[in-house]
Structure 1
Amino acid sequence: MSAALRIEPRWTDLDPVGHVNNSVFLVYAEEARARFLHTALPTSWGPIVVVHNEIDYHHPVVQTDEVEVSSAVEAIGTSSFTTINIIATATHKCATVRTVQVVLREDRSRTRPWSADERTALEALLAAGSKIPR
C-alpha cells in the first residue's frame, strides 16, 4: 500500500447539492492509482490500461472535507490485475473503487502476460495490501 493521496475538493468537484459529484470519485481514484502504479511499476506503466471500474458509495464528501485516497493491489491475473482505492475523510469511509487493468503488448494490439519481474512487483503489492482493512 502506498501513502495515501490527500485531496482537498474544489468547488468544480461539487454537484448542485454541494456534494462531490459521483464521477469525481473516479478522478480521485485515478490520480492515486496512477501515482501508486508509476512508483511500483515504473517500466510497465505506459502499456497498462483500464478495462473496468466499479464504485460503491458509502458517504458523501463536501468541499470542506479533506479526502485521503489509498491504493492497493487486490488481485493478479495472467495479464490483468485489480486495484482497490478507499476514499475516506477523517471520520467516514466515503467510497470503494475497484479497477481492473491489463498490460498491453508493445504494439498495443492486445494484452500480454506479466513478465516475471512485473509479477514479482505486483505480488509484493498484493501481500502489502492484504493487511489493509477494506
Structure 2
Amino acid sequence: MRHIYRCPLRWADMDAYGHVNNVVFLRYLEEARVNFLFRPDKNFKQGSVVARHEIDYKRQLVHRHTPVDIELWVTQIRAASFTLTYEVKDGDQIYVRASTVIVPFDFEAGRPRRLTEEEREFLQEYLDDDKEEAVAA
C-alpha cells in the first residue's frame, strides 16, 4: 500500500527559472514523511531521525498553484531502521524518485533505539519491496 500526500507548491519554492528549486524537494519529502509517520491513529511517539537521503531528479517541476502528489511506501524494515521510498509526480509524470533511511531515536537517552512492535506492524502495512528495484532503475 502507498501513502499519498498532496503537497502544496509555494511561491518561495520557485527558482529564477520558474521551476521548483531542487533543494525544496527535500522539504517536500519531509512534509510527506511527517504526514505519514505522525498521524493521530499511528504515531512514532518516541521519535526518529533521518540517517540518509538519496534523491534522483527526473524532470523539472514548473511552479503552479495546484499541489503535486507524493507517493510514499516502505521498502525495507530492519531492527533499528527502515527505508521510505517516494515518487513526486502528477499521474505518470515523475519529477523525483527518492529514498530516506530513518532510525528510531530515544531523545531522552540520546541514542538510537529498536522499532517497537506497534511501529513495525504499522510499517508492514506499507511494505512494498517489489518497488525497490524500480526506484533503483
SS of the residue corresponding to residue 102 of structure 1 reads strand
Distance 1:81 1:21, change over 3 A: same
1:77 is aligned to 2:78? yes
Please say which of residues 55-64 and 6-15 is displaced more in the overlay: 6-15
Corresponding position of 2:94: 93
**Percent same amino acid among aligned pairs?**
32
Conserved? CA contact 1:49–1:102, under 8 Å: yes
Corresponding position of 2:31: 31
Considering only aligned residues, what root-mean-square deviation do their CA atoms show, in Å? 2.1
Distance 1:46 1:15, change over 3 A: farther
Q: Give CA deviations for 1:1-46 in whole Å, capped at 9, x if unaligned.
A: 22x222342221111111100011111111111111113741x244
Q: How many residues align?
A: 130
Conserved? CA contact 1:67–1:89, under 8 Å: yes
Conserved? CA contact 2:14–2:20, under 8 Å: yes
Residue correspondence of structure 1 range 50-129 to structure 2 within 5 A: 50-64=50-64, 66-90=67-91, 92-105=93-106, 107-126=108-127, 129=128
The CA deviation at 1:90 is: 3.7
Higher helix share: 1
| Letter of the 2:73 counterpart | A
Distance 1:66 1:116 in 2: 34
Distance 1:55 1:82, change over 3 A: same
Conserved? CA contact 1:87–1:96, under 8 Å: yes
Residue correspondence of structure 1 range 36-51 to structure 2 within 5 A: 36-39=36-39, 41-42=42-43, 44-51=44-51
Q: Give CA deviations for 1:66-97 in whole Å, capped at 9, x if unaligned.
A: 41111111111111101011101245100012
Name the TM-score, length of structure 2 as normaliser: 0.82
| Letter of the 2:104 counterpart | V
